[in-house]
Amino acid sequence: MIKEKMDRLKDMRGGNLILIAIFSSIIVAVMITGLGMAYYQTKIRDMGLVDEQTNKSYAQHYALIAGDDDDYFWDSVYKGALEKGKNQDVYVERFGENLPLDYSVRELLKMAIAARVDGIILKAGDDSETTALIDKATDAGIPVVTVLQDAPKSKRQSFIGVNHYSFGKKYGKQVLDAADQSFSKVLVLLDEDGAGKNQNIILSGIREVLDGAKIATETLAIDRQSAFSSEEAIREVIVDTENMPDAIICLNTVDTVCAYQALVDLNKVGEVEIIGYYDSDIVLEAVNKGIIHSTIAINTEQMGSYCVEALVQYKKTGNVNKNILVNSQLITREEGRR
């Protein structure tokens, strides 16, 4: 009797076991399939196959045209403009970036006009052709703001730039800060091709400060049209030990990096002070190491942000400040560490 009861119990347990087995295997099957597929999906996503086409659309499309020189600077400006734009339902395109050919600013401007963008942010030139194109754009209803370099004769809506004179004075003060008794000569690296007006204002700012300290200011114009000229020119200056300046002032990032690299390569660190431009990572590192005395940076993200703000404001109100100045900031070794 007891055995029978046991058997019966076993039977019932057997029935339940089957049910449990069915359900648990369904669950396990679903789970393992889900897990496997989830693993697969993450693997694919890691590899980037599933194109995450966010495809977020914006109400307006602005073009940022800056040419291809000094990428550090313009990357940062673009970053500021893009972030600001996204807050205002504007997408800012770094115009021409994906094209296989290097187009000039003027050609890119033509394209932007043809592409009927909603606004143009332009590093302008002072030439008449650019001015005419800016006028053509504004005539076609596309507002244009110039940035860093102005086209004052054009119908551009606004200029976002820096006070070059005070910018130059800042440079001068840094030279004084770095100077000891033996300081007698400072070399300023300039562009040969143009944008002459801004350069000259900066230079006069520097001279204003250094003349008072009886330090001679020399300039070296570098031909930007031929490739790699910057690096060669700076090297020549440093190799020439007799006429070597006590300090070199660089007005752009490329010059700054070249000067720094030349010092390191030629083992002249400490003999020549560099007052650099901009706060790219390489430059910041050099400041930290003490190879570059200090850098003066334009708040580039702010600059980009102002450009977008100016365009948005103009679009909204039909009016905007003709000149907007961006802060500049000094980065010394102590600040660089931070």
Partner 1 sequence: MSLKLKSDFTIRTKLVLIFTFASVIVFGVNLYMYSNINSDLKVIENVYLSNRSLNELGGVLGEVQDSMYEYLNTKSSAALEEYYRSGQEFSSYLDDMNGAASEDYASLMEKNIRNMSLEYLEEAETAVTAKRGRNIEKYKESYENATDTYQYISTYIYSLNNEQFRDNSNNYEILLVSLKYLEIITTVILFVITALNIILIMFFTNSITTPLRRLAKAADEVAGGNLDVLLADTQYNDEVGVVSKAFNKMTVSIRDYIAKLKESMESESRAKEKELVMETHLKDAQLKYLQAQINPHFLFNTLNAGVQLAMMEEAENTGIFIEKMAEFFRYNIKKISEDASLREEIELVESYIYIMNVRFSGEIDFRKEIDESLLEARIPSMVLQPIVENAVSYGIRGIEWAGLITLSVSSTESGVLIRIQDNGRGMTEETIAKVMNGELKKEDSDKNSNGIGLGNVISRLKLYFGTEDVFEIRSGGTDHGTEVLISIPASGISGLSEADRRIEQVSK
Interface residues toward partner 1, by CB under 8 A: 4-5, 7-8, 11-12, 14-19, 21-22, 25-26, 28-29, 32-33, 36-37, 39-41, 43-44, 47-51, 53-61, 90-91, 93, 98-101, 110-111, 114-118
Pairing of strands 90-94, 119-122: unpaired
Cβ(276)–Cβ(110) below 8 Å: no
Minimum distance of partner 1 from residue 50's CB (angstroms) = 7
Burial class (CB in 10 A: 0-12, 13-18, 19+), 149: buried
| Euclidean distance between CA atoms 62 and 30, whole angstroms | 49
The full length of the chain comes to 338
Instruction: Enumerate residues 6+ apart whose C-beta is below 8 A from 51.
Output: none
Give CA separation, 173 vs 166, 191, 213, 260, in Å.
Answer: 10, 22, 10, 20
> By C-beta, is 42 or 319 nearer to partner 1?
42
Longest dimension (CA), the chain: 121
**Amino acid identity, position 24:** S
Between 59 and 264, whose beta carbon lies closer to partner 1? 59
Give the whole-angstrom CA distance, residue 103 versus residue 95.
10
- Cβ closer to partner 1: 31 or 213? 31
Other CB atoms within a 10 A radius of the CB of residue 318 amount to 9
Shortest Å distance, C-beta 35 to partner 1: 9
- Pick between residue 100 and residue 270 the one whose CB is nearest to partner 1: 100
Q: Which is nearer to partner 1, 95 or 159 (CB)?
A: 95
Supply the minimum distance, in Å, between the C-beta of residue 282 and partner 1. 27
Shortest CB 89 distance to partner 1, Å: 9
- Minimum Å gap between C-beta 40 and partner 1 is 5
Instruction: Write down the least CB distance from residue 110 to partner 1, Å.
Output: 6
Q: How far is the CB of 116 from partner 1 (least distance, A)?
A: 4
- Which residues, in sequence order, are CB contacts of 59 under 8 Å at separation 6+? 89, 90
Nearer Cβ to partner 1 (117/258)? 117
- Output phi, psi for 223, to 5 deg: -80, 110
The nearer residue to partner 1, 23 or 329, going by C-beta atoms, is 23
Comparing CA positions, the residue from 246, 295, 250 lying closest to residue 268 is: 246
Beta pairing, strands 328-332 & 294-298: antiparallel
CB of 151 to partner 1, least distance (A): 21
CA distances to 205, 213, 283 from 164, rounded to whole Å, are: 8, 21, 21
Cβ-proximal residues to 117 (8 Å cutoff; 6+ apart), any chain: 61, 62, 63, 93, 95, 142
Instruction: Confirm if 238 and 268 have CB atoms less than 8 A apart.
Output: yes
Cβ proximity to partner 1: between 43 and 197 the closer is: 43
Gap between the Cα atoms of 26 and 189, Å rounded = 75
Q: To the nearest whole angstrom, how small is the minimum distance from the Cβ of residue 304 to partner 1?
A: 17
Nearer CB in complex with partner 1: 129/271: 129
